[in-house]
Each structure stands twice: as structure tokens, then as C-alpha cells.
Amino acid sequence: MKNHNFIKIFSGLILISFIASGQEKETLAKQLGYPADAKLLIIHADDIGLSHSVNTASIQAFEKNGITSGSIMVPCPWFFEFAEYFKEHQDLDIGVHITLTAEWDDFKWDGVLPSSEIPSLLTEEGYFYASVEEVAKNADPLEVGKEIRAQIERAIAFGINPTHIDTHMGTVGATPEFIQEYINAGNEYNIPVFMLSYLIQQTPQILELTGPDQVFVDNFFMITAGTPPSAWQEAYNQIIENVKPGLNQLIVHLAIDNAEMQAISKNHPDFGSAWRQRDYDCMVSDEFKTLLEKNNIYTITWKEIKELRMK
């Protein structure tokens, strides 16, 4: 499930990617070997590691070329399963989905670090808070920074070479101090950081923190809460038709609609079990792939961006 305010903030988001470096710089598409005005799209699956159902759907979507990228929730119970799969599939584009919330009613987790090191991130029961607002109100930014780094370290220790970092429910964007810890961690590990325009609007000094190698997303897309199931395919059709030249990212949430995922997501129709099955069905469909071709879209990965940055 995602925070509704987070969804509203990002709806229709547009960011000029060369704010920091000037229009004269060669476009990202050109640097990656595509036409200068190419429509680049990362099709990104969030929440890998959340459950066996999510892992199953994400793996199948990778194998069917339905997605190009994903990010893993390191503190979650099914992180280990996907980390084991990744050992034999290291060509996959996998980032760390920095996780500081546990939003489901009856399915909880805490941090990678011992509770004694991150007490401000945890409820009285010892789990992460359910909402972004609670994290913003209670969490010490220094403890947030420690947990961010610990999640990256845990992923690396289990054999994952993160291609990027991003944020579950947008939590790292809740305060300027959280944002700074997030960016600093990306710089320290030399990992691209998924950046969105609302962060720059709230914290103009972000451009100074990120440095000249930061790649910004021009257009961000995610299906909105409340979309009727009958309108799912049409909603994605409209998204793809609105992809513009530059770097675009589509975030999807995949799972198999089964008893496990239904139990996890009970009382949460938005981003719940049936929602995730619909996302999966759409991403692996021939209709969606045909739509990408029809709109002259090049699908890419964060790995390509990281490799470019390393050069």
C-alpha cells in the first residue's frame, strides 16, 4: 500500500533532467547510445521481498520481459528468498527499496539494525510505524541514516549489487533531514538515487547535495488509487501514450492474487492482492508490449545508468 498524499504529489510529475548541468549537456539517451530525443522508460517493480507471492510475480515478470527493473525491501521476511534467486540471475536490475514503514494491518517488520540502535523508528510493539506521517513525527534523522545504510549493506552482504536506491511510500522525502541522509548514502556507496521533483521543490539545496552525476527522472508514472479494475488496461494505455522524450519511470506493484497476499493486504484494496495481480497481468501482456512498440519507447534499466555514472 502507498501513502495517498505521496500518490497525489507524484501524479503527473515532470522534472527537467538537466537543471544542474545545463541544456548544452548531451542527453542521457544519447549518452546511452539511443537517439538524442528517445523516449526512455524504466518499468520498475516495487516491493520485491515483501512476500513469496510478490517474489513469484516479480521473477515471472522479469523472465517474460514485462519489467526491466525492481527494488527489494531488505527488512521484509521474503528478502532472503529473492536474494538466493539473484545469486543465479545477477544480470537482473535490482535496487534497494529503502523501507522505514510497515503499513499492513497484520503483517509487520522492524529494521535491519537492532532496536536499540533505531528506537525512534519503532513503535512500542517494536515494529516500524505504519504511516509516513508517524515516521516524520518520531524518527531521528541520524537513526534514519543508519538504517538506510544498514539496508544497503545487508543487500550487498547477500550478494546483491544495487543498481539504485529508492524509497518505500516516499518516506525518505518526509523531511529535509531524511532526504539528506538518503542522498548522502547514495553518494557514499556510489549508487544512483531515484530523485523526484517534489524533493527539489521542498529542498532546493538538493542539487548541491546530489552532485553533477545525478540523473533525474523527467516523467514519473504510477496508476492512481481508486482506478476501477475495468479501466486498468486503459489507464496503462494512457500512461504509455503520455511518455515523452527523456527518462521516464513507470512503477508497478506485482503479486499473485492468492491466499498469502490476500491475508497480507486485507482491508487495503489499493495496492492490495487483486491490484497487484492486475498490474502483473498487464505488464506481461502482448497488448502492453505492442503499445510500447507503437509509441517508439526504448525500455532501459537503472543498471545502464549506473554503468554510465561509473564511467
What does the block give as the cell for 222? Answer: 504510477
Listed residue (4, 176, 186) closest to 95, CA to CA: 186
pLDDT of residue 198: 61
* CA gap 244, 291 in Å, rounded: 14
* CA gap 220, 198 in Å, rounded: 11
9 vs 283, higher pLDDT: 283
pLDDT of residue 195: 87
pLDDT of residue 227: 93
In degrees, rounded to 5, the angle at the alpha carbon of residue 161 between the alpha carbons of residues 148 and 1 is 50
242 vs 6, higher pLDDT: 242
Q: How many domains does the chain have?
A: 1
Q: Which residue has the cell 513503535?
A: 123
Q: What is the pLDDT of residues 283-309, one digit of tens each?
A: 999 999 999 999 999 999 999 999 998
Q: Which residues pair with 193 in a beta bridge?
A: 165
Give the chain's mean pLDDT.
90
198 vs 211, higher pLDDT: 211
In degrees, rounded to 5, the angle at the alpha carbon of residue 112 between the alpha carbons of residues 105 and 273 is 30
Q: Which residues are CB-contacts of 184 (< 8 A; sequence separation ≥ 6)?
A: 145, 209
State the residue range of the domain holding 306.
4-310
Which residue type sits at 37? D
CATH of the domain at 236: 3.20.20.370
Confidence of residue 210 (pLDDT cuts 50, 70, 90): confident
pLDDT of residue 209: 79
Choose the weakest-confidence range: 46-60, 189-203, 261-275: 189-203
Q: What is the pLDDT of residues 160-207, one digit of tens each?
A: 999 999 999 999 989 989 989 999 999 999 999 998 766 666 666 777
Q: Which residues are CB-contacts of 24 (< 8 A; sequence separation ≥ 6)?
A: none
Q: Is the pLDDT of residue 1 over 70?
A: no
pTM of this prediction?
0.90
Q: Is the pLDDT of residue 155 over 70?
A: yes
Q: What is the pLDDT of residues 55-80, one digit of tens each?
A: 999 999 999 999 999 999 999 999 99
228-237: b (≥16 Cβ within 10 Å) or e: eeeebbeebb
Q: Is the pLDDT of residue 21 over 50?
A: no
Q: What is the pLDDT of residues 116-154, one digit of tens each?
A: 999 999 999 999 999 999 999 999 999 999 999 999 999
Listed residue (179, 162, 161) closest to 170, CA to CA: 179
Contact criterion met (CB below 8 Å) for 86 and 92: yes
* CA gap 207, 123 in Å, rounded: 34
